[in-house]
Each structure stands twice: as structure tokens, then as C-alpha cells.
Amino acid sequence: MASKPVSRPMMQEAIDAYTRAAGDVGAAARSLGVRDSTFRHRLKRAQEADLKPSAGVFDRKNPAHMEQMVRQLEKQLADKDRDALTEESIRRAILQMKQRVDMLDPPPWLLQASAVSKSPGVPTLFLSDLHWGEKVEPSQINGVNRYSVKIAHKRMEALAEGAVRLLGILSPAMDYPGIVVPLGGDMISGNIHDELTATNELNSMDSVLDLFTVLAGFLEGMAARFSKVFCPCVTGNHGRDTHKIWNKDRHKTSFDWLLYCFLAKRFENDRRVSFYIPDGPDAYFRIFGHRYLLTHGDQFRGGDGMIGALGPIIRGDHKKRSRNAQIAMDYDTMLLGHWHQYIHLTRLIVNGSLKGYDEYAYNNNFGFEAPQQALWITHPRHGITYRSPVYVERNQAVPKAEWVSVAAA
């Protein structure tokens, strides 16, 4: 009686089982659930057809197979270690980000409520959107503003004087434990548009050098007046040296970041002044228990003639809060610049600009905004209390308007 034919898949299955069982026919037959005689018949046909074990099937008696098995196991182990390393890296990054919420090594005067038992709290003077090096021509905006490097110098002096005067009114003893001076980006005008390249008074590097001298003196004056100064820093969009904002290495393509590093180097041996310069677009810090997120604000886009900047800003704040809640980085108040519009709400503070109203705002029919920077107090129990813009233009006198009149007939 002729034996039953054996299909090629059955022959391959037999040779694979025989290889796995290291030549033990009985074990191979049991692994396939067939009788020994049936398995021997299939194996014989497979050997006659000169079939080889499938890839990944190893003969433990064959040294070449064992070497291949070892290599595969080593690869699997390396892949597993790499996956574990990736998970560990993610976990470590999240922990580091969580540490940054706690400020890593925060200046103690920012956190110790006992240090301000008799004072109103810790003042914050927000510096952003200085647009150093840019010119604003009054003839192009109906004479409502002008800006140049010389005017910028005077406005920085007025900013320091105005902030000290306002804080002196609030606390004549000036018994503040220190002052926070966030640096919120767009510190220089930059050459990101052709019109800026053509009209800027200073180029980017010249702007950085001139502004470095001014800010170094400004922070020195703040340290002399308030004893302690803390500067969290983020980059803006104007100071970049790329065509578009980079998501990767954003900080290393920004003259803002370079300026902050210069300042940190300048004060590295001065214990009165400390800096926090994160690599990413956001900086997290606390004053007492109040958690702040500092960002520039260029990530938020949109708006219209009715809601203006509030729409994209509030949507952006909502998205950041949702993202941060997922990684244990919740915050109470977001600080941002970019919009050149002073807005102080409970959940967010939008800074004005040192430059003030310009041709872009005028041509787009935006509302007039005087040059100003934000100032507020953080109290250990009540959070943000006193708040006020600091106007930086000394001569605000408005000339008397001459109206055309028509005599009655």
C-alpha cells in the first residue's frame, strides 16, 4: 500500500520540530501531536527534499546554530535594555522637569514666608519686548510714539525709577526680601523681517552688546536697592538667527539666550543676583507657594478685531494647563510677553513693551498702547496682590488739540 503524500508545509514543520528537539524524534513527534511513525515518515520526506530549518529555528547540537542563537539573544537583550533605557530617560526627564517646578536650588528668600512677615511680599518687575536696536518713526504713526536706541536707554532708566517709586509708596521702609525680574524674550529687534534688516538702528550683535551693558547696570541697581535679584529667562521669536523658529535647540538659535548667558557670566560671583535659564521655551518658578510659568507667547496665534489677543492667549493657557497637568507641572499664573499689550488677569499676566506703539500696530489698526512693563507683588498668604503697569515715557503731556470751527452764518 502506497504511503500517504506529505505536503511541503508538513515537511517543513517536521524538520523544524526535529531541529528544536535537538534530534529527539519522540520529543519532536509529541510537540506536533502525532505518532512516532507518522513523524518519521514526514521527516524522511523532508530530508529527501533537502529542506533546511526555518529562520530562527536552532539545532542545539549545531555550533553554527548556537552561535546564531546567541547573537539573536544578545540583540533581544540589547533591544530590551534600550527600551528600558528609553523609559528610564523619559522618567528621569519628567522628574527633572518636576524638579524645575521646584526651582532646583531656589533662592531661599523666594520661599520663606517668615522673611517677609512685615513686608507686602516679593515684587516682580517683568522685562520683555524691549526690541533693542529697532526704530519707530513718529511720522509714520501720526506722531503718537517714537523709538530709538537713545530713547530705549532713557526708558530703561525711567523703568527703574518708576518701579522703585511705586514700591516705595507701597512700603516706605522698602523692606522687601528681594525682587524677581523675569526676562521674557524679544530683548532685541533682530533681523527676522526684511523691513527690520533695512530699518533697524543696530544689527543683532551690536544690539546684544549695547543691551548687555544696560541690563548689567539695571540689575546691579536692583541688587543695590533690593539686596537680592532673581531672573528667570525665556527666549522670544525676534532674537532668532534662523528663518523660522526651531522646536529643537530653540535656545541655541537665539540672541536672547546668548544675552542671558552673558549676564549670568557677569554676575556669577555676585551672590545677590541669580539666573534660571532653561533650555526649553518655558521657565517654571515659585514665589512662596504661588507657581508661575514664564513663556514668551509666540506659540499662541490667532485673534480677531473683536477679542484681539485674548482669544489665542486664553486658548494657549488652557492647552498649557492641560499638558502640564498630565506631567505634574501645574501652575497658577502664566506670564508672557509678545503681544505688546498689558493685561493682568488672575490666571495670566501679559506684559507691555518698552518699544510701545509702532508701524505694525498702526497699519493693522490695533489699539494704542503706551510703552510700559508689568509690576506686581506676590504675598505669602494671598498670592498676587498689588499690581500696576510701570510707564516708561517720562514726557506724557498731551498737546492741546486745535479743532476746526466754523462761524455761524
DSSP symbols for 42-71:
HHHHHHHTT--PPTT---TT-HHHHHHHHH
* Per-residue cell: 319: 492647552
Q: Taking 90 as the threshold, does the pLDDT of residue 138 lie above it?
A: yes
**Single-letter amino acid code for the residue at 11:** M
CATH topology for 112-391 is Purple Acid Phosphatase; chain A, domain 2 (3.60.21)
Q: Are 311 and 304 in contact (CB under 8 A)?
A: yes
Nearest residue to 318 via CA among 338, 276, 292, 348: 348
Closest alpha carbon to 189 in 155, 249, 149, 232: 149
Model pLDDT for residues 140-157, shown as the tens digit of each residue: 999 999 999 999 999 999
Which pLDDT does position 311 carry in this prediction?
A: 87
Return the C-alpha torsion angle 295, 301, 305, 310, nearest 10. Answer: -40
Per-residue pLDDT, averaged over 28-55, amounts to 86
Instruction: Give residue for cell 502640564.
Output: 324
**What is the spatial order of strands in the sheet that 343-344 belongs to?**
283-287, 290-294, 333-336, 348-350, 343-344
pLDDT in tens, 281-305: 999 999 998 999 999 999 887 765 5
Amino acid found at 58: F
Q: How confident is the model at residue 10 (pLDDT cuts 50, 70, 90)?
A: confident
> Tell me, what's the pLDDT at 285?
94
Collapsing DSSP to helix, strand or coil, 243 comes out as: coil
CB-CB contact of 167 with 176 (8 Å): yes
Q: pLDDT for 73-87, tens place per residue? A: 666 677 666 655 565
Cell of 69: 542563537
Task: Identify the residue with better confidence: 397 or 239.
Answer: 239
Mean residue pLDDT across the chain: 85
The x, y and z cell numbers of residue 237, run together, are: 521669536
At residue 397 the predicted structure's pLDDT band, cuts being 50, 70 and 90, is: low
Angle between helices 204-226 and 255-266 (to 10 degrees): 40
Q: Is the pLDDT of residue 211 over 80?
A: yes
What's the confidence (pLDDT) of residue 335? Answer: 97
- Alpha-carbon distances, residue 18 vs 29, 45, 63, 341, 348 (angstroms): 8, 13, 16, 79, 72
Who has greater pLDDT, 216 or 395?
216
For the whole prediction, is pTM greater than 0.85?
Answer: no
Contacts of 399 (CB under 8 A, 6+ apart): none
C-alpha count within 13 angstroms, C-beta hemisphere, residue 48: 10
Cell of 181: 525680574
Taking the CA atoms of the chain, what radius of gyration do you get in angstroms?
Answer: 34
Q: What is the pLDDT of residue 270?
A: 94
Q: What is the mean pLDDT of residues 99-106?
A: 49
CA gap 49, 43 in Å, rounded: 10
Contacts of 328 (CB under 8 A, 6+ apart): 94, 98, 101
pLDDT band at 99 (very low <50, low <70, confident <90, very high): very low
User: Which pLDDT value is given to residue 2?
Assistant: 58
Residue 402: the pLDDT is 64
Cα–Cα distances (Å) from 369 to 163, 185, 340, 353, 359, in that order, read 19, 19, 8, 9, 12
> CA 158, CA 359: separation in Å to the nearest integer?
23
> Quick one: 373 exposed, middle or buried, by C-beta within 10 A (0-12, 13-18, 19+)?
buried
C-alpha span between 298 and 236 (Å, rounded): 7
Q: What is the mean pLDDT of residues 154-161?
A: 97
Q: Is the pLDDT of residue 167 over 90?
A: yes
Element (H or E) spanning 229, and its range? strand 229-232
% helix, strand, coil for the chain, step of 5: 40, 15, 45
pLDDT band at residue 88 under the 50/70/90 scheme:
low
Which residue ranges make up each domain of the chain? 8-61, 112-391
Burial class (CB in 10 A: 0-12, 13-18, 19+), 280: middle
Site of grid cell 522698602: 174
- Of 51 and 237, the one with more pLDDT: 237
Q: What is the mean pLDDT of residues 224-238?
A: 96
Query: What's residue 98's pLDDT?
Result: 44
Q: What is the DSSP letter of 136?
A: B
Lowest mean pLDDT among 21-30, 196-205, 315-324, 333-342: 21-30
Average pLDDT over residues 40-46: 88
Beta strands in 76-200 (DSSP E): 122-125, 179-180
Decide if pLDDT at 194 tops 70: yes
Q: Which three cell numbers stand for residue 381?
A: 498668604
- Sequential DSSP letters for 177-224: S-EE--B-S--B--SSSHHHHHH-SS-HHHHHHHHHHHHHHHHHHHHH
- Greatest mean pLDDT among 1-10, 115-124, 201-210 lies in 201-210
